[in-house]
Amino acid sequence: MSVLGDLKTVAVHRDFRKLFAVRLVSQCGDGMFQVGLATLFFFSPERMATAADVAAAFAVLLLPFTVVGPFAGPLLDRWRRRQVLLLGNALRVVLALTLAVLLVTVGVGPAVYVLALVTLGINRFLLSALSAGLPRVVPQEQLLMANTLTPTLGAVSAVTGAVLGFAIGRLVPAGPLKDGLVLVCAAALFGAASSLALRLGKDQLGPELRAGRLLAQLRSTVGDLGEGARYLVARRTPAAALGVMGVHRFLYGANFIALILIARNLLSDPADADAGLATFGLLTGISFAGNGLAIVLTPLAHERMAPATWVLVCLGLGVTSQLLLVTSSAFGVVAVAAAVLGLSVQGAKIAVDTIVQRDTADAFRGRAFALYDVVYNAAFVGAAALAAVALPDTGWSRGAFAALAAAYVVTFLAFRAVSGDGRPRPTPLHASTSAPGL
């Protein structure tokens, strides 16, 4: 079935259209905000020129939320998810405008890094809320189709925002005003997303059960998260899916850092920040074209195989992408590898999202996606540490990419062994009083 046909199928649900609009506008703002950060942190001639520098920047941006992330899950299982989308985007408006003022008046300093950290952390929280709320606006039999479309079209929206941010930056003379203006435009999109969330009912996205005061919720976070982890492991398929996605994210993270270095230091003049950013943007766009191909291929694959089998196919594509990079660092080879890896990552993510949502009871979905975010961020931090040690400053190493290809093969074999027939075990008895079985 075509992408347009799939979109028409799920878009008949009015509440899906409302939630989808929030995602598209919010992620467009994400892309614009992130391209501003990319210019500041990775493509300024005076900073982030080595593998260690780029890896350290990613660690600083993600490590705090690997620690804070677990607190999101229990809250998403208690707080109204619609309110999370409303207030989270509203808070990002304030943060983005404050960042813009600081860049224009003071310049890059500790406050800019702290506010950027908080804004990016809220973004991960919002994406978790969007994923946890999706099963409340589409029928279960259309969940895979919705998972195919919404994250990937959201990513396309983020790329659109990034392109708009880059275009704005090109039209404005270099200086603090340039970075500030991009962030002001991002703030406007965050405000629009917050307003769109008002079209959904307060209780429409769940959760079904909410209890306790905030302080009590925070005190019980560790126990709640532990219970959620035990539930996922007992169900088997969600835990296996989260595990393979964590490894996939780790391997993708190493590739992403390599792509920044290749674009900046190998395929462009390191002293020309705009050329490096343009090359990186082109390669990232090609990678997102692979994401788009996943929209087309994943529903076709679902007609012929289970989601767990499609994950294995995507891991095989990951092996192929790394073997391509082993052969050469020429632009054409890097571009093809980026497209194949984009298809691999997004195709696997769609299947993993579907497995987690399908095989997890609603009362545990918030914790499941909070654990997802912890694994997601921790894997990228680990990839940053690996990149700092294994990659040269040019970003390309035949030995490093061969090792990543071998890691994909091991992941393929492990997931095939653990996933079994792809069916979850019955809901564990210890969780039956707090969550209905599936």
Distance CA 83, CA 205 (A): 9
Residue 18 pLDDT > 80: yes
As a whole number, mean pLDDT of residues 26-32 equals 94
Average pLDDT over residues 416-433: 60
Question: Quick one: pLDDT band at residue 65, thresholds 50, 70, 90?
Answer: low
**pLDDT higher than threshold 50 for residue 406:** yes
Q: What is the mean pLDDT of residues 189-201?
A: 96
Distance CA 35, CA 183 (A): 9
Least confident of 22-26, 157-161, 374-378: 374-378
- The token pair at 106 is 């003071």
**Tokens (6 digits) for 405:** 């290809």
For range 393-397, the mean pLDDT: 89
Residue 108 CA to residue 166 CA, distance in Å, equals 19
Q: Does residue 306 have a pLDDT over 80?
A: yes
For residue 232, being part of any structural domain is answered with yes
Across the chain, what does the average pLDDT equal?
A: 83
Average pLDDT, integer, range 350-372: 82
Model confidence at 70, pLDDT cuts 50, 70, 90, reads low
Q: Is 431 contained in some domain?
A: no
Per the domain annotation, does 261 fall within a domain?
yes
Q: Which of 313-317, 346-350, 371-375, 395-399 has the lowest mean pLDDT?
A: 371-375
**Stretch among 174-188, 246-260, 273-287, 422-436 having the lowest mean pLDDT:** 422-436
Query: Per residue in 124-167, pLDDT tens?
Result: 788 888 988 899 999 988 887 887 788 878 988 998 998 898 88
pLDDT band at 436, cuts 50/70/90? very low
Q: Is 257 exposed, middle or buried (0-12, 13-18, 19+ CB in 10 A)?
A: buried
Which has the higher per-residue pLDDT, 383 or 26?
A: 26
The confidence band for 112, taking pLDDT boundaries of 50, 70 and 90, is confident
Could you tell me if 100 and 180 are in contact, meaning their C-beta atoms sit under 8 angstroms apart? yes
User: Is residue 432 a part of any domain in this protein?
Assistant: no
Return the pLDDT at 103: 81
Q: Is the residue at 208 inside a domain?
A: no
Percentage of residues in the chain having pLDDT higher than 90: 34
Q: For the segment 229-280, what is each residue's pLDDT rounded down to a tens digit?
A: 888 888 888 888 999 999 998 999 899 889 988 998 888 877 676 677 788 8
**With 90 as the cut, is the pLDDT of residue 184 above it?**
yes
Q: CB within 8 A of 110, min separation 6: which ones?
A: none
Q: Would you say residue 341 has pLDDT above 80? A: yes
Is there a domain that residue 99 lies in?
yes
User: DSSP string of 99-161?
Assistant: HHHHHHHT-SSHHHHHHHHHHHHHHHHHHHHHHHHGGGTS-GGGHHHHHHHHHHHHHHHHHHH
Q: Which amino acid is at 430?
A: H
First to last CA, the chain: 28
CATH code: domain of residue 38? 1.20.1250.20
Question: What average pLDDT does the segment 175-184 reach?
Answer: 80
Q: Could you tell me which residue, 432 or 324, shows the higher pLDDT?
A: 324
pLDDT of residue 434: 37
Least confident of 140-149, 198-207, 392-401: 140-149
Asked if residue 427 is part of any domain, the answer here is no
In the chain, the number of structural domains is 1
Q: What is the pLDDT of residue 432?
A: 37
Res. 429 pLDDT band, cuts 50 70 90 = very low
- Region 279-306 average pLDDT: 87
Is 209 within a domain?
A: no
389, 341, 35, 388: CA torsion to nearest 10: 0
Angle at 345 between CA 343 and CA 351, to 5 degrees: 95
User: Do 244 and 352 meet the contact criterion of CB atoms below 8 Å apart?
Assistant: yes
Q: Is the separation of the CB atoms in 395 and 59 below 8 Å?
A: no
Residue range(s) defining the domain that contains residue 66: 3-202+217-418
| pLDDT in the model for residue 209 | 62
Cβ proximity of 364 and 228 under 8 Å: yes
